[in-house]
């Protein structure tokens, strides 16, 4: 049975006190909307429709990277969640399958939970609603049941005292045949306390028609929504905790787990070793057996087996480290490919470059890649020795087995096996140091 996603992302999120749409606020360096859509990929949806409203242009722009296949539809007026779902009707006009209604600000629903909802549909339930037991139901909508059958969903503000005593709460997520969902929503009565089209009324209408409705349960933590900055901070903490647990369970060594920070797409291979206070920005893959030493920051980088990074290293987007590479303290690598066994051990910047196999980059080396307007590349061959404090003024090529002398400013290509020396001749002025200090002290004394 094919599936379509209807993801509600139209809310203003006024309690966030932000000009940014709520669903674009980030958890693990990725918009919370990306979390919701990424989990739902487990359903292999045939169609994805994202309903936008406040800040919809920004959400649509973000979707080009998050889910370029998604259709974007607008909810011009905020008339309730049911009204938001109805905006997807035209986009799914010819779709003949199940619709899963999800929320862009509920990032912790798991793929396993969605799979259980899908199974319940395939087992014969016409409507499946996701619920959870809560010790403090507060203002959640309540699920009114008879045994395992769902009778109706009651919003807290419309509930009786008896209904408010129910601890089985509504998450807001549901699935049912798309055509049936839209048909029932057209029949929803807006004579409620808010005068809105309640998505939750679909349950009562379905039961009245003789359809079967079932509740699938999940942990309350999965249903955590984000409404305030405090919620966002709590969600970030929860995400980091989950990521650390998954890494440890996958065979990664985290010396001090609480100090390591992950992104949504961080991938760490088995037997990789991560020291304290490491930050993984977006787009990082660390292969098995690599070591990331303390206080390093990685983003958009690939680290191969046996490589060692840090301490105090920074890998920026496009950094590709092959097997056995060493990148040491206070080294920055950006948009550079470093071949097997190469070493950049101290206090260097390597950007827009390629470094050959077994090459050694001396301390204080800089690839001067930017002329103020454009970036230029530095190509360094295999088994090259770059002397300390070398400035490589790109575009430049250094051939295999070549060398640069310490303190050299390289402005011309260096042929293979050659040694480049580009520094001013040293002159020693006898007694000049003494005379200079005497002059300076005399000037200071007069002040």
Q: Which residues are catalytic?
A: 346
Q: Within 10 Å of residue 305's Cβ, how many Cβ atoms?
A: 15
Residue that the structure tokens 């991560």 belong to: 274
Q: Are 420 and 414 in contact (CB under 8 A)?
A: yes
DSSP β-bridge partners for residue 308: 291, 326
Q: Are 369 and 376 in contact (CB under 8 A)?
A: yes
Which positions ≥6 away from 227 have C-beta within 8 Å?
13, 15, 16, 22, 105
| Cα Rg of the chain (Å, integer) | 30
CB hemisphere CA count around 219 (13 angstroms): 6
d(C-alpha 384, C-alpha 411), whole Å: 17
Write out the E strands in 35-141. Answer: 47-52, 71-74, 98-103, 127-133
DSSP β-bridge partners for residue 214: 128, 149
d(C-alpha 76, C-alpha 84), whole Å: 9
Helix (H) or strand (E) holding 301: strand 301-303
Mark 390-407 as b/e (b = at least 16 C-beta within 10 Å): bbbbbebbbbebbbbbee
Indicate the Cα dihedral angle 147, 166, 171, 258, nearest 10°. Answer: -110
C-alpha closest to that of 280 among 260, 255, 294:
260
Which positions ≥6 away from 261 have C-beta within 8 Å?
240, 278, 279, 280
Which positions ≥6 away from 245 have C-beta within 8 Å?
none
Integer angstrom CA distances of residue 207 from 72, 200, 363? 31, 12, 74
What does the H/E/C string look like for 240-271? HHHHHHHHHHCCCEECCHHHCECCCCCEECCC
d(C-alpha 362, C-alpha 351), whole Å: 15
């Amino acid at each position: 049975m094919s599936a379509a996603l209807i993801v509600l992302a139209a809310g203003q999120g006024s309690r966030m006190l932000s000009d940014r749409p709520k669903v674009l606020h980030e958890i693990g360096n990725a918009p919370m909307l990306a979390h919701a859509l990424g989990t739902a990929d487990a359903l292999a949806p045939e169609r994805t429709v994202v309903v936008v409203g406040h800040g919809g242009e920004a959400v649509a722009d973000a979707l080009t990277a998050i889910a370029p296949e998604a259709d974007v539809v607008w909810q011009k007026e905020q008339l309730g969640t049911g009204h938001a779902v109805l905006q997807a009707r035209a986009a799914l006009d010819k779709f003949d399958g199940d619709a899963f209604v999800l929320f862009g600000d509920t990032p912790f629903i798991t793929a396993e939970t969605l799979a259980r909802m899908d199974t319940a549909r395939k087992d014969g339930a016409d409507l499946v609603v996701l619920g959870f037991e809560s010790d403090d139901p507060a203002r959640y909508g309540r699920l009114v049941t008879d045994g395992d059958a769902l009778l109706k969903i009651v919003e807290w503000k419309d509930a009786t005292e008896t209904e408010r005593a129910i601890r089985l709460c509504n998450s807001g997520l549901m699935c049912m045949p798309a055509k049936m969902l839209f048909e029932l929503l057209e029949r929803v009565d807006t004579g409620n306390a808010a005068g809105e089209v309640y998505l939750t009324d679909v349950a009562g209408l379905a039961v009245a028609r003789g359809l079967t409705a079932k509740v699938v349960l999940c942990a309350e933590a999965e249903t955590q929504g984000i409404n305030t900055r405090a919620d966002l901070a709590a969600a970030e903490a929860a995400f980091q905790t989950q990521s650390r647990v998954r890494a440890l369970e996958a065979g990664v060594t985290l010396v001090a787990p609480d100090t390591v920070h992950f992104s949504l797409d961080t991938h760490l291979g088995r037997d990789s070793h991560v020291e304290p206070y490491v930050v993984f920005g977006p787009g990082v893959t660390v292969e098995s057996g690599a070591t990331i030493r303390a206080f390093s920051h990685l983003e958009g980088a690939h680290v191969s087996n046996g490589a060692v990074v840090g301490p105090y290293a920074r890998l920026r987007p496009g950094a590709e480290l092959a097997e056995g590479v060493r990148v040491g303290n206070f080294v920055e690598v950006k948009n550079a490919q470093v071949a097997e066994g190469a070493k950049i051990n101290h206090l260097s910047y390597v950007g827009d470059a390629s470094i050959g196999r077994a090459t050694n980059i001396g301390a204080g080396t800089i690839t001067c890649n930017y002329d103020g307007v454009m970036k230029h590349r530095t190509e360094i061959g295999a088994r090259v020795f770059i002397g300390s404090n070398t400035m490589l003024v790109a575009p430049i090529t250094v051939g295999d087995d070549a060398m640069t002398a310490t303190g050299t400013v390289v402005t011309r290509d260096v042929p293979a096996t050659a040694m480049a020396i580009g520094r001013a001749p040293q002159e020693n002025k006898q007694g000049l140091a003494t005379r200079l200090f005497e002059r300076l002290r005399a000037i200071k004394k007069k002040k």
